[in-house]
Chains A and B, each alone.
Chain A
Amino acid sequence: MDDQLSRAFAALADPTRRDIVARLSVGDATVNELAEPFDVTVQNISKHIRVLEDAGLVSRTRDAQRRPVHFEAKVFDLMTKWIERYQREAEARYTRLDAVLDQLQQSEETNTKSEIRKSS
């Protein structure tokens, strides 16, 4: 896993930054707009946005007056792929466990039947 992906995971470990990204996934917003729902200063939100920017999760247009913050889907997709891989591996393991349990079930049923035969 490269550094950018590690930074992206670390950046999203913070609940405020998760909320900011959730808001931005709907559409671009200015720092002031992003700060509105929170009981914190605009400066505080700016700091969070810088962390998200360093992680490549958001970008800001340099020349525009409003400088809206934009959600960068590319890094997010990389993260999603990583999680999907982890989920796939876990699921593959448990599908194998399903098969083992199925064998166990069948051998127990066979044993029960032979015990019944023996006792009858």
Chain B
Amino acid sequence: MNTFTKANIEADPTVPIIRITRDFAATPAQLMRAHTDPDLFAQWIGPTNVDTRIDYWDARSGGSWRFINFRDDGEFAFHGCFHEIGPNRIVQTFTYEGMPEGVSLETLAFEPIDETRTRLIAQSLVDSFEGRDAWLSSGMEIGVNEGYAALDGLLLRSAV
């Protein structure tokens, strides 16, 4: 079985999906808490050395959320809805307010590997190719492009 001790990024070459896989030394319940408890979430989501303030946060199916990153060059806000919470799964929408017309559908799965380890599979589906390209050119970490999945595969094959 593959292990993903570092974040592994792949994307479907035919639809604008990006998938990140990463293994954690935690239980699915702990990963769920780190994603749904606003105080815990604010500790890890933002880029390094960037304060994250939770504006509102209602972590239940049908609830909504909003947080703000305070960077040197300004404030960056994000919002969305929790479509479905649990068990071992979160389905939510995600919008960067700098591009309010863009929305991605995020599906997070927490899969137990053994008693102490859990695999996180975070999949983002972007609504349109225009949206994807806009995100890509924004240089935000939410940027998605099928091209780099292509490239991943390419690098993989070149390495063989």
Please give the residue numbers on chain A whose beta carbons come within 8 Å of chain B beta carbons, in ascending order: 1, 6, 8-13, 15, 18, 21-22, 25, 79-80, 82-83, 86-87, 89-94, 96-102, 104-105, 108
Whether B158 lies near A86 (C-beta < 8 A) is: no
Q: Which residue of A lies closest to B41 (CB)?
A: A100
- B133: chain A residues within 8 A (beta carbon): 6
Residues on A with C-beta less than 8 A from B48 are 92, 96
Do A8 and B147 touch across chains, with their CB atoms under 8 A apart?
Answer: yes
Segment at the A interface, from B19-27, B54-62, B70-78, B79-87: B19-27
B99 interface hit (Cβ, 8 Å): no
Q: How distant is the Cα of A81 from the Cα of B120 in the complex, in angstroms?
A: 25
Q: Is the interface of A mostly helix, strand, loop or mixed?
A: helix
Chain B count of residues within 8 A CB distance of the other chain: 38
Given contacts A18-B154, A94-B22, contact A83 B9 (CB under 8 A): yes
Q: Which residues of B contact A (CB under 8 A)?
A: 6-7, 9, 13, 20, 22, 24-26, 30-31, 33-34, 40, 43-45, 47-48, 120, 133, 136-137, 139, 141, 143, 145-148, 150-155, 157-158
The 5 closest A-B pairs by CB, nearest first: A9-B147, A96-B44, A90-B7, A101-B26, A91-B7
Contact B155 A80 (CB under 8 A): yes
Give the CA-CA distance A11 to B139 in the complex, in Å: 19
Q: Is the CB of A13 within 8 A of B152?
A: no
